[in-house]
Chain A
């Protein structure tokens, strides 16, 4: 398996523009997580899905952020409109629901810079 695949690896955009981050989880994993990492706040959980259904989006900063998982092999995180404070590394992770044996596998991340 190629692991969790995220695209793009880097994104530079102007304030006010729409940004879409993409994630392909590991085949067979039925939980998917979006995280944001900054120096100031560390790793923050934004939202997670189980069997394509959003379970907890309490970490989504505000209405400018939205996430979808239309099928088991694809998820998007959208920011509209983007702001400089959204600059961070965004990670996607997936796991399989196998009780206590399940662990996370992370993608390589998308480094977002909003200027």
Chain B
């Protein structure tokens, strides 16, 4: 059974800092990995999707990497802003369309 872990559970940084969020998974036989953002009281917004054949994806200040062999993905946020404050979840999809979600990292960017 796939298990997805996100450490740390919470992170607080000053504005402008570059930061990395971590996601690890136990079964490397994955189709893709998707990073989501969730604001308080809101739904999940997709940020980036990395296919199993890819190593990374970039969107603006966000860069996500995938290392299947080690069962790890990272989400890099450059020049963090207070508006980046949210919970970030990773989801790993395997052969069927079900995804396994991590519990998320709650990020606070202080002005």
Contacts and interface: CB of A to CB of B under 8 A. Distances in A.
Interface in A76-115: 91, 93, 95, 97, 99-109, 111
A50 interface: yes
Nearest to B42: A108
A91 B32 contact: no
A70 interface: no
Nearest to A31: B97
A103 B32 contact: yes
A104 B31 CA distance: 13
A61 B11 CA distance: 32
Contacts, number: 57
B32 A56 contact: no
B111 interface: no
Contacts of B41: 111
B75 to A, nearest CB: 15
A43 interface: yes
Most chain B CB atoms below 10 A, which of A33, A43, A101: A43
Nearest to A93: B44
Given A91-B44, A99-B31, A43 B97 contact: no
B43 interface: yes
Nearest to B89: A43
Contacts of B43: 91, 106-109
Nearest to A42: B103
Contact of A100 (B52, B91, B99): B52
A42 B36 CA distance: 14
Nearest to A111: B41
Nearest to A32: B97
Given A102-B93, A103-B49, A108-B42, A48 B98 contact: yes
Interface string B14-35: 0000000000000000011010
Interface of B: 31-32, 34, 36, 41-46, 49, 51-53, 89, 91, 93, 96-99, 101, 103-104
